[in-house]
Amino acid sequence: MKNILKRLTNACTKKNLVEVAEESDDPLLPQTTDILKMSTQYKQIMFFYQAGIHQITTKLEILSNEFKVCNDRNPIKEIVSRVKSPESINEKMKRKKIPYSMNNMMNHIRDIAGIRVVCPFISDVYYVARMLMSQSDIETIEIKDYITDPKKNGYRSLHLILMVDVFFSDVKRKVPVEIQMRTVAMDFWASLEHQLRYKKNRIFEQEMERELKKCAELVSDADVRMQKLANGIMQEE
Query: How many CB atoms are closer than 10 A to CB 194?
Result: 11
Domain count, the chain: 1
Q: Considering the domain boundaries, does residue 7 fall inside one?
A: yes
Distance between CA 68 and CA 211 in Å, rounded? 39
pLDDT tens digit sequence for 98-110? 888 778 888 888 8
Q: Does residue 214 belong to any structural domain of this protein?
A: no
Distances in Å between the Cα of 71 and the Cα atoms of 23, 68, 74, 76, 232 are: 66, 6, 7, 12, 18
Q: Which domain holds residue 20?
A: 2-184
Q: What is the CATH number of the domain that holds 18?
A: 3.30.460.10
Q: Does the residue 221 lie in any domain?
A: no
User: Is the Cα dihedral 26, 29, 32, 37 positive or negative?
Assistant: positive
Whether 97 maps to a domain, the answer reads yes
Residue 76 placed within a domain: yes
Measured CA to CA, the distance from residue 57 to residue 193 in angstroms comes to 26
Q: Which residues of the chain have pLDDT under 70?
A: 1-36, 38, 199-204, 234-237
DSSP H/E element including 125 = helix 122-133
Long-range contacts of 15-20 (CB under 8 A, 24+ apart): 15/41, 15/102, 16/101, 16/102, 16/103, 17/41, 17/42, 17/100, 17/101, 17/102, 17/105, 18/100, 18/101
Residue 201 domain-assigned?
Answer: no
- Whether 115 is covered by a domain: the verdict is yes
235 in any annotated domain: no
CA angle, 155 then 121 then 52, to 5°: 70
How high is the pLDDT of residue 15?
A: 38
- pLDDT at site 234: 66
Query: What is the Rg, in whole angstroms, of the alpha carbon atoms belonging to the chain?
Result: 21
SS3 content of the chain, % helix, strand, coil (to 5): 50, 20, 30
